[in-house]
Structure formats: C-alpha cells, structure tokens
Amino acid sequence: MTEDREPVGYHKKQEKRKAREQRRARLLQGMLCLCMVVVCVGTAVLAVDALSDRKGNKKAGDGMRRSRAVTVGALLEEDIRQTAEVKRPYVEVPEMGALFGIHVQGKGWSNYFADNAYGMAPAGGYITAVRATLHNQPQGMTGTIEYQVNLSGSGWLDWQTDAGEAGNSLGEMPLEAVSMRLTGELAQYYDVIYSVLQNGQWTDWMRNGEEAGKAGVGLRVDGIRVSVARKQEDGTSFAGEIDPSKPMVALTYDDGPSKNSTPRILDTLKANGGRATFFMVGNRAEKNGAVIRQMVEQGCEVANHTYDHTLMTKVDPAELERQLMMTNQVVSNAGGVTPVLMRPCGGATNDAGMGVAGAISMPAILWSIDTLDWKTRDVQATISAVLDHVQDGDIILMHDLYETAADASDVIIPELTARGYQLVTVSELSSYRGGMIPGKSYYKFRP
C-alpha cells in the first residue's frame, strides 16, 4: 500500500491563498467600516441641520448643499465636502420714500416732490440739476441715497448725496441721463427706482445704478420721477410698491381739506392700505396744515384746485397762475412737498389756461367717474355711482368737503379693496400707464 503524498509546493500555495483571503477580508472589512463612517457623518449632518431648522436657525438662501461625495476606488479615498451658499434672510422693514427736487433752466429750484411723484420742467423747459434725499429712513439702518448725472458737454459728474446738487444750477447745459443707488444696509432691503422724461416720453423704470436716459445723442432730460421701494421676499420691487399686473383706480377728492370729513377718509384709507389724491383749495389748505401733513405721511397725493376755487375760463392767465402758485406754496409749507397736478375747477378748460398749467409744469387731471356727490349729498347714490361702474384705470371724483363723502368712502374703499383694486394716487396710476406731461389733460389711465 502506497502512501498518498501531496504535490510538491502544495503547502506554499495554500499559505499564499490564505494570505490573499486574509488581505481581501481585511480590505472588505475596511471598506465596510469606511462606509459606516460616511453614513454616520451624513446622518449627523442631516440631524444637526434638522435640529437647526426646528430651532429657527436655518441659514437662508439656496441652503446647505450636502456633498457628495464618497468615492471608493483603488485607494478608497474619501472626499466629503459641504458647500454653504448664504443669502440674507427676508426681513420686514418699514416703508421709506424719496424726496427730490429739480433745477429748471431759467426758473430755479423747485420745492421737493414726494416719492413716485413727477418733477417736470415747464413745457419747453429742461432740467440742469437734481437733488434728492430720503423720507422716513429707519432709525439705526446705515446708508443713504447717492445719485449722479450726465451733464451735456461735461459727461458723468461725481456722485452726490443727501440733497447735494448734481448738475450745474448756475449753467445753461441740460442733463442727459441720471443714475441713482442706495448704500449701506439700505441697499440690502430697498431698491431705488427712477425714470426720466426725454424726447416727449418717459423711459422705462431703471434701478440701483442703471442709467435712465440716453447720453451723448443730443437729448435732454425734461422730467424725473423717483421712488424707494421695499424688496419683497422674492426679490422683486415696484415703484410706489404698486403691482402693475393688478387692477388699480385713483380716488380723488376736491374742494377740501375739511377738518372733519377729510381725516375720516384718511383713516379709512389707512385701515385698508389705500391712497388717494386730494385736490385742495388754497384758502382751506391754509387752515388745515395738520390734515395735509397726515396726507403726506400716509403717502396720499397733495394736489392743486386753485386758491379761491377759481374757474380757469373766468380769469385771465396771470390770475390763474397766481392762484396755482399760491396754493402750491401753501401746501408745500404745510406738508413739505409741492403739488405736481392741478384740477380745473368745474372741469372747465381753455387754451390759455392750459398754457399756464404747462408753464408751471402741471398736467390737468379730470375724471372718468363723476359721483355728483356735491349735488345729491346722497350716500347710497355716491356708492352706486362708483361700485356699479368702476373699471381698471378709472379716476373717480368725490368731494371731501361733505360728511356724506366720508360716509360713502367708508363703504367704497373697503369694497374696492375686496374686489382686488389697488387704491393709488393719480401720479402712481399714470406712472404705469404711459405717464403725463405738463399742459395736457387726462381723464383715465386704462391698461
């Protein structure tokens, strides 16, 4: 009987095989351990992030992007990366506005215009300098408004700020373009939006350092409008904080202000987030400065209805100009901003009178809905005149001299708001519907 013998080198082969298996086992074990580590790290990151969310400490922006990245290759390299893109969280801030003035060649400096109002040279005139500042800047928030102009023959001048002169009020050369911006913390929460009147048309809205107007092509700036608006949560903003995609109407009130009904109307507007335009008689405005200041603080528009409620067609042009200029000054003294619109008493106009309006930079505003509240003194008739006929772009005429107008407004204002109308000033309405120029009449601003 022969003894079975193992092949030569058998033991060496077995030992090598066992060594390979042991190395493979250790390698697999290492891979499993590494994967477990990666899973644990990833789980911990997600848990910390979720806990931060619950505690309200989540970073805003595109958020925390978790990366990726575990690649197991020949060398089992670990590449775990996290990239954080941080965007400042949305913060609700108070309303703020611009105040601005213009220097007109041959006329001098204007009084200040309200946010989103019109600063226009007289028909045939042009602007040689501008100045601007801010109204109701939040306390403790850094920054200001800066602005520069392109002056014909000189090019772009240095940036100015805080009501400093940009341009040349002592010279004859017109502005050709304007640029504006906010600085500091203001720039994080607000946009400055502006447009200029050039070659008979208003330019598109520009913002935050963009150039409004065409420089170097022989065109001058004849008007400017400026608005400071809060940035919404999605980053958008609109001049006057008005959404141009939504319907809007302009409520207007004549013959006031009244110490009783006008404050009531203002309170109703404030409660419903609306604004209106008040065409005031100068001799009544002199007695109601506190009411005018309330209008301005609420963002309503102060406007001109002559000093003595004088019909354009019944006085010579010099007297009409005196009446309009006196009223502008009275209102400016009381509220700090000057009217830019006039309403012809009784709606009566003639060429001479419209020439006067144009010469003092004012468009004439009529109406598309006349409530006849001055005649009927009937609350329900006034309500029906508005609610039964109102359309997007209407200018609605009422008179705040009467308590019945305030009674009707208590119903009209919330109902228009409930129907989805934005209650805006005439200047605001026009700013999204083609704009206005001095010496022209306007009845409505349809989309």
Give yes or no: 399 in active site.
Answer: yes
∠ CA 344-347-352, nearest 5°, is: 55
Give yes or no: 254 in active site.
Answer: yes
Q: List C-alpha distances in Å: 310 to 7, 152, 279, 320, 347.
A: 129, 41, 13, 8, 11
How long is the chain? 447
State the catalytic residue, choosing from 254, 373, 394, 407.
254
State the catalytic residue, choosing from 103, 399, 400, 407.
399
Task: Name, in order, each residue with C-beta under 8 angstroms of 116's C-beta and a sequence gap of 6 or more.
Answer: 97, 98, 225, 226, 227, 239, 240, 425, 427, 428, 431
Q: List C-alpha distances in Å: 224 to 33, 331, 332, 362, 437.
A: 70, 21, 19, 13, 11
Q: In what order do the strands lie in the sheet with 108-109?
A: 108-109, 97-104, 127-135, 166-167
Q: Which of 252, 256, 250 is nearest to 402 (CA)?
A: 256
- Are 392 and 247 contacting, i.e. CB atoms less than 8 angstroms apart? yes
C-alpha dihedral (169, 173, 176, 177), degrees to nearest 10: -20
Residue type, 403: E
**Which residue do the tokens 């409620």 mark?**
309
Q: List C-alpha distances in Å: 378 to 384, 396, 398, 399.
A: 10, 16, 12, 12
303 beta partners? 279
Just list the catalytic residues.
Answer: 254, 399
